[in-house]
A and B are shown apart, each in its own frame.
Chain A
């Protein structure tokens, strides 16, 4: 069974630029999560989708972050414009139930 796929793996941008991350969850997993993990911290949930609907986006900075999962499978997370404090690893995870979450390799973002 293929795992959660993410791209790109690394991205370096300057502040005020925009960036987008892509995630392909494990086949058949209805729930998809985007997390932000700052160095030395645990993952922090940004947004949770159930199929193509948003379940929880209470911690998503909506003035600059947006996410979509149009067909209930792949998802994209966008930051526009980026700030220095957005430098982090962005992890995508998926689950078939509310239980075990399987994480992708992450996208490491550096904002200069």
Chain B
């Protein structure tokens, strides 16, 4: 089945130690998104890629970076994780908008829960 896969499911990292979360998709979607979700809160968009074009949200800290080497993969790099970065990180994909479609929407991965110690 076509899907969005996030690895690892759980990640523990040390305060200040760089960490990378990965996302892959078999849907061949143009757009890939990274969301941060803290406990019992709404997901917050960090950035997204439309093909190779990177789009950063204005309030995303510089500590967060992303790479998309090809259509299938997207990475979230946290350069110096702080305790406040502990959260669930959700990857999502969507195809490019080409007009009215009853099936338009996002597909989410299962998320990576990041713990900072």
Q: Do A and B bind each other?
A: no
Residues of A within 8 A of B (CB): none
